[in-house]
Every structure is written in C-alpha cells, then in structure tokens.
Amino acid sequence: MRKYFVLDTNVLLHNADSINSFADNVVVLPMSVIEELDKFKSHNDELGRNARRVIRQLDTLRAKGRLGEGVDLDNGGILKIFTEKGKCVDPGLDMHVPDNRILAVAYTLHMQGEKVIFVSKDINARLKADALGLGVMDFEKQKVNFDELYQGYREVEVPAAVLDEFYGKKEVAVEGFELLPNEFVLLQDEKEPKHTALARTRNAVTLLPLNPENETVWNIRSRNKEQRMAMELLMDPDIQLVTMVGQAGTGKTLIAIAAALENTVRHKRYDRILVSRPIIPLGKDIGFLPGDKDEKLAHWMQPIFDNLMYLMGDGKERKEKEGQSESTRQKVERLLNSHVVELEALTYIRGRSIPRQYVIVDEAQNLTPHEVKTIISRAGEGTKMVLTGDPYQIDNPYLDSSSNGLTYAVERMKGQPFHGHITLAKSERSPLAAAAASYL
C-alpha cells in the first residue's frame, strides 16, 4: 500500500530536493504550501533560493500532466498538488492559519482511508498532527545520529612495548582496529594508565607523533589534549577542511583565529583571513541597524573582535592602561584596514571563488547542510576551510543537533584525507563558564 507523504512548506525550504526523497510513494503538496512558496520566492537568502528551485521543479513536472491529478516522478513515486477548498474534512482547527490548512489536507486523506504521514520541520505542527491521529515525522534525509557523532580521536590500551616503540622509532603500526585519516589516538599503557602517548594517523596504517612546532600557536598554548589536537589540524596545510565541535568556552573560535594568524601573518601560507558567521540573533531581534555593511557587521562580529583583541595583546589580558589598550586596538584595526583579516556575512559568499585564504565559519551549527555545502564549494586553490560550532546552541528554529550543517559535514566528510575533525570537551574560558555549560 502506497503511503501519502504530506509535506510542510519548511521541508521544501530546508531541502529543495525533498520532493524526490519518497520513492514509490505519493508526495502531496497542499495548495497552501504553493502559496507560501510564492511569498518566499522573492527573498535573496537561502530560503528564497530553495523556494524558486522547488517552483521550477514543479513547473517542469507540469509538462508531464496535471499536477492536481498527480504526475509520475523519476523515482517511481507520484507528486500531487491538493486543493483544500471544498474538499477537506474540517479537523476542528482555525482554517485561517496556513499550517492548519496543510494539516487539514493530511487529515482528509487520512479519513479517506489512506496511510498518511505528515512531514514537517516544525515541532508544533507535528504535535498537532499527532493529536489528530496522523503519522508524523521530521525530514530525515540529511540527519545524522548526534549521539554517535565522529569524535576525531579515541583512546586505546596497548602493551608498554608499543609505547616504547613509538617513542623510539617515532611511529608505530596500527593493529587490531581501523582508523580514519587524520584521526588521533591516545595510546595508554594497559598496566600504567598514566603512561600515555598522543599520536595521529594519516594513512590509517601508521601512527605518527604530533608536530612539536604546533605546541604554541600565536603565543597561546593548548590547555588540554583536545585543543592540542585541534592545533595540529589547524596548522597542517595539507588538511583543507577542519571541523570543530564543542560547547561554549572550549576555545573553538580563539584557537581557529590564532592558527589563522600564525599561518597567514607569520608563515605567509595564505593571502588573507576571511571570517564569517550566520546572521541569526539570540533572543528578540533589535531590528534594522544603521550604517553601511561594515558598520552593520560590526555588531554581529563582536565575538571575533574580542578574540582578535585578546590575541593581538600577545595572548595576555589587556592591562588597564589606556595606552596599552589603544595599542592593541590599533593592531587589530591595522589588520582589518590592510585586509589581512576580512569579516564577511555569509549572505554575500554565494558565487564567490576564494583562493589562498584561511576561511573561518563560526557558529556553523546554525547553517543547513545545503548552506554548508555552498560555503565549502567556494574554496579555491590553496584555501583552508574551518567550521566551528556548538550543536547544543542552535538558534535556527528548523535545525537541531542531528540535522544542522556542521554535524552533517562532520559525518559525511570523515574518512577523506583532506578533512580533520576534533570534538572539544572541556570548557577553558573560566570556572563559571564551565559550570554554566555543565549545569545550566
């Protein structure tokens, strides 16, 4: 028996190819969904692009027959646009609300005896559908199991002789388990747990020691083993994509910017540093901001300024002297004015080709998988991409820890020789910040 998948508008806006994700079944788009797509099609953001893409797909399908009667899809399924007016069974909801009209279509098909599943990224809409007795689901195609997300490192107990060989020969062969490229291993003496060695693999066969030159990056040192692993990945020019996941205060952004300065300013491996982050407010939006693009971005990029001020002060807290503070600020402004460091909104990154740059995308957990794909595909020859974020702090209402672009990239890119990942576990910002991350 074919299932009837009734898609909410947010599913199409999240993934424009979602209508092709239900092979051998019937995909139903209520007329209210088409009307909502029409409202989004003029937007210049990712939602507008997805809306226009879906509309073009539907227009192409229209050549096969009447969409109101259903047309065949290439995957063996059928797509149908359902007109609610005069055909829907009243589920007892306010029909002036578009979401309720979409639910009414699913409820009507359910009352006709069809096996209906309502698909939506909106939790509240799924709750209402469940209350009506409908089958409900989130759009699962680009979701990963966050609880089993690749960590980037593992701990392995080995005989003391293996550790001795590693310290003596500066390498050791991997036996008994499979490793991914650029994965880290903490080798522990099976009889003496404090006897350890930190290693990294590049070819999944041999473990090599970490580069001692990466112990200090732009005058800062790692405070835990995960930060040390992150520095190793960030400083390696052969790794073109680095992903870092961690809660607030674990040092993701600070370490990324420090490595960018070290690579670009000191070693001249890249022409400039490009830092970007999604423009998504925390809490109620304050509305339009005055000024040109740079003045508007200054408010969103303040966390980047804070890290630059700290790093340009030689990694130490700024003294209270006005002269010292002004000197540090002048260093940061010189980097920005000379375009060694550029701050850019993700809105303007589509269509660009970015060669020989060190690109940092902060707060990447607020991006969809498609947006992350768009950003990474901007990388030109000699560019390094760094994605950082905390999947526990997502401000996008239609994303969660399993469906956001950062965790999707981690899971899909693992195993590629040009990719490295690390999960930062310990907050080092302050004891208060660590307590907040743990208990609040």
Asked whether the beta carbons of 102 and 42 are under 8 A apart, the reply is no
| 160 domain-assigned | no
Residues 127 and 241 in one domain: no
Q: What is the pLDDT of residue 285?
A: 45
For 120, the domain range is 3-137
| 143 domain-assigned | no
Type of residue at 395: D
Joined tokens for residue 271: 């022409």
Residues in Cβ contact with 341 at an 8 Å cutoff, skipping those fewer than 6 apart: 272, 273, 275, 308, 335
| 159 domain-assigned | no
The CATH number that applies at residue 42 is: 3.40.50.1010
Q: What is the pLDDT of residue 440?
A: 73
Joined tokens for residue 297: 């971005």
Residues 98 and 242 in one domain: no
Rounded Cα distance, 313 and 109, in Å: 65
Q: What is the pLDDT of residue 283?
A: 42
| Residue that finishes a domain, picked among 85, 112, 137 | 137
Backbone angles phi, psi at 283, to 5 degrees: 85, -160
Q: What angle do CA 42, 389, 225 make, to 5 degrees?
A: 165
Nearest to 202 by CA among 385, 415, 424: 415
Q: What is the pLDDT of residue 358?
A: 96
Residues 232 and 368 in one domain: yes
Pairing, β 196-201 against β 206-209: antiparallel
Give residue for tokens 């408010």. Answer: 299
| 365 domain-assigned | yes
| Count of positions (residues) in the chain | 440
Asked whether the beta carbons of 410 and 245 are under 8 A apart, the reply is yes
Residues 98 and 236 in one domain: no
Q: What angle do CA 255, 259, 262 make, to 5 degrees?
A: 140
Residues in Cβ contact with 267 at an 8 Å cutoff, skipping those fewer than 6 apart: none
User: What sign has the CA pseudo-torsion 309, 314, 319, 324?
Assistant: negative
Q: What is the pLDDT of residue 289?
A: 54
| 152 domain-assigned | no
Average pLDDT for runs of 10 along the chain of length 440: 93 91 93 94 85 94 92 93 79 88 94 95 94 92 86 91 90 84 92 90 85 92 94 96 93 94 95 85 48 62 84 58 62 86 77 89 91 90 95 84 92 94 88 78
Residues 262 and 398 in one domain: yes
Alpha helices, H only, 287-397: 293-300, 302-312, 322-337, 369-376
The CATH number that applies at residue 245 is: 3.40.50.300
H or E, element range at 30: strand 26-30
Type of residue at 1: M
| 109 domain-assigned | yes
- DSSP-based three-state secondary structure for 81: strand
Residues 126 and 227 in one domain: no
Residues 129 and 244 in one domain: no
Q: What is the pLDDT of residue 280?
A: 58
| 162 domain-assigned | no
| 150 domain-assigned | no
| Residue that finishes a domain, picked among 91, 116, 137 | 137
Give residue for tokens 């993701």. Answer: 252
Nearest to 408 by CA among 418, 399, 398: 399
Rounded Cα distance, 335 and 342, in Å: 8
Residues 226 and 94 in one domain: no
| Residue that finishes a domain, picked among 93, 116, 137 | 137
Report how many domains make up the chain: 2
Residues 280 and 399 in one domain: yes
Residues 235 and 328 in one domain: yes
Residues 284 and 424 in one domain: yes
